[in-house]
Amino acid sequence: MAISSRILKAAMEAADKKKNEGLTTPEDVVRFDDVVYGTDPTWEVLDVYRPRGAEGALPTIVSVHGGGWVYGDKEVYQFYCMSLAQQGFAVVNYTYPLAPKAKFPSIVAHAAQVLAWCADQADEYGLDVERLFAVGDSAGAHTLAQLAAMLTDAEYAAAVGVPLEGVPTPKAIALNCGIYDIRHITQLRWMLKGMLGDYMPHKWADERVVDLMCVTGHVRESYPPTYLMTSTGDFLVDQAPLMERELEAAGVEHVSKVYGTANNTLGHVFHCDLRLPEAHACNEDECDFFKRFIG
């Protein structure tokens, strides 16, 4: 693992520990924990959260966690995901193998695998895959944005080589503080390039791989409606306009929003910090966006 990956991984772990300290499962949420969606009981596991008392199939959100491709699991994201369940959704929160052992497009393939699992296990857990949505932040937004592009661009999917049979396309997605064009990193360049290097199957000099790892250039008219979010203190704030330009050029329905002000700076993935009222406001905005497509 690159030195930069080790540094950022340690920083993220410390921040998440502080952010989640003292939080517990809400009384109005029912959870199904440690369900194996693949073959590895450590890295291919997920939780399902549902509002207590809700019956039948619910509109479903799949969460693709961030962590720079080298860090994170479902335990870190459980409280954020349960807060989404409190807004009337079934929520699937999963763990996936990380870089440097996992190489592109492994993380995208696991996201596809979880969506397919939702379709296969819909009756067991009350998941309505006709009303399926997905959220992703940071590296998770990168993964989700790529998967959405593959599901709506057969040529791109074939070039990447991720199996998509039985994988449902989300009706809408939310991309939070993500990276979409790895060729245009302006802040934390050294560290981010190190993390991306851990995930790359080849070196940066391989232009074909670099192109396939970028979402830009692969957004088509059929791309899912998208809620595109960043914040005033997000070190990836310059990435959102690149994705917004792609969505606009393709005519994709979208909302693009920057949270925070000059006097109230909100940092990278602030929406996962449930101690912040702005996080709840952002998450409610995104759930309201999804509800527009429930019908």
| Residue ranges of domains in the chain, CATH in brackets | 3-291 (3.40.50.1820)
**pLDDT score for 111:** 98
| Cβ proximity of 230 and 239 under 8 Å | yes
- How does pLDDT run along the chain (295 residues), one tens digit per residue? 888 889 889 999 999 999 999 999 999 999 999 999 999 999 999 999 999 999 999 999 999 999 999 999 999 999 999 999 999 999 999 999 999 999 999 999 999 999 999 999 999 999 999 999 999 999 999 999 999 999 999 999 999 999 999 999 999 999 999 999 999 987 777 778 889 999 998 776 588 999 999 999 999 999 999 999 999 999 999 999 999 999 999 999 999 999 999 899 999 999 999 999 999 999 999 999 999 999 7
**Residue 144 φ then ψ, to 5°:** -65, -40
Cα pseudo-dihedral 66, 72, 75, 76, rounded to 10 = -60
- The answer to pTM > 0.75 is yes
Strand ranges for 159-249 from DSSP E: 172-176, 226-231
181-196 core/surface letters (b: 16 or more CB in 10 A; e: else): bbeebeebeebbbbbb
